[in-house]
Amino acid sequence: MLAAEVYHNLTAYVNRLARRLLKIDKLDSKAKCLDYSLHFILCSWHPEQHNTSSLHCPEYSQHQGRFMVWSQRTLVFVVEAVLGDASPHTVA
């Protein structure tokens, strides 16, 4: 087994263990501002505090409830939900 595979497997195991021990359980809401077509993610441990009338478009501050929202309960860290499998790069 290559060192990279060992590292990947160990990292995955530690993440699963941490989730179980920390009881990570949050609601991710994927939203689309219907005025400006901007997509964004809201991660929250208190989903009862958020709905379309409490959202604000992060780019344009629209807050009239004109959003399309998809929600899912997830067991991932916030940084994993936001970044996913993306890798950093420099914009020239």
* Nearest to 34, CA basis, from 85, 4, 69, 3: 69
Mean pLDDT of 65-70: 87
Domain count within the chain: 1
Domain span at residue 32 reads: 24-92
**7 within a domain of the structure (yes/no):** no
DSSP E strand stretches across the chain: 26-33, 39-44, 67-74
**16 within a domain of the structure (yes/no):** no
For 7-52, what is each residue's pLDDT tens digit? 888 888 877 777 666 656 666 788 899 998 989 888 776 777 777 7
**1 within a domain of the structure (yes/no):** no
**What is the reported pTM?**
0.54
**32 within a domain of the structure (yes/no):** yes
H/E stretch holding 21: helix 3-22
